[in-house]
Amino acid sequence: MVSLRLPHEKALKIMATLKSINIGKPEKLAVSGNRKMFSGIHKKPVHEKIFLDNLGFRGDGVADSGHHGGRDKAVCVYCVDHYSFWEKELIREMQFGAFGENLSVTEWTEKTVHIGDIFRIGEAQVQCTQPRQPCHKLNKVFDFQAMACRVQTTGFSGWYFRVTQPGWVTAGVEIIRVHEDPKRISVDAANHLMHKNKKDWQGIREILSVEALSDNWRETFGKRLLKEVPASEDQLRLQGF
């Protein structure tokens, strides 16, 4: 399994800020070729405090509830430190919410956030569940057919939070990690397992042992493992024996 874990002491000292909270309801969007697309990807910053409940921010919404939203994917997060890369790559300016993220943050990246980590943001508490998986809508929004693929290959995917404690949140507050998952499997390492190191059976077993992993990713990894590895051994592992 690819090791992408910072030394424990360094990881705990990271100071990060919530630069922007972005929300938006699904709407019909004009995309390339004079076509329309129904999506909630266009998020706009809000400047007042906003309540975060178990299914996300009040006033926010998703168009495709089969792939977005729900308790495991209540909040989408993206690190604005990646914006400079995309501005050079796409020759365009990036605004908060450019990737459809609810939280635009600094410092916390796919390499420093682990599946299962718990953070305090204002009054709310959240937990990382899985990387964000880029979809075809990014291609249309950015008018670049390889965009979803580029997000995947760079590893600049963003990630999802579930809400473990609802509360009021305001942009500008510090994002504090209050619990680091003992397995310390980074979002970036999870991306590698899903998209690149697909037959890293040890790595897959390890990520399946993280209780906080989303149901969706647990199902995908579980099916992959049972398909390729003798079931007698791994069925017991997946069942917790």
Domain segments of the chain as ranges: 8-184, 190-238
Q: What is the CATH number of domain 8-184?
A: 2.40.33.20
Dihedral of the alpha carbons of 106, 135, 164, 77, in degrees to the nearest 10:
10
Cα distance between residue 188 and residue 99, in whole Å: 17
C-alpha distances in angstroms, 61 versus 38, 46, 56, 177?
12, 14, 8, 26
pTM for the structure as a whole? 0.88
Give the model confidence (pLDDT) of 178-194 as tens digits.
999 999 999 999 999 99
Is pLDDT above 60 for 88?
yes
Give the model confidence (pLDDT) of 49-83 as tens digits.
999 999 999 999 775 656 667 899 999 999 999 99
Cα distance between residue 217 and residue 161, in whole Å: 14
Cα distance between residue 90 and residue 169, in whole Å: 32
Cα distance between residue 121 and residue 236, in whole Å: 38
Tokens, residue 240:
């917790």
C-alpha distances in angstroms, 146 versus 54, 139, 152?
33, 6, 10
Is pLDDT above 90 for 239?
no
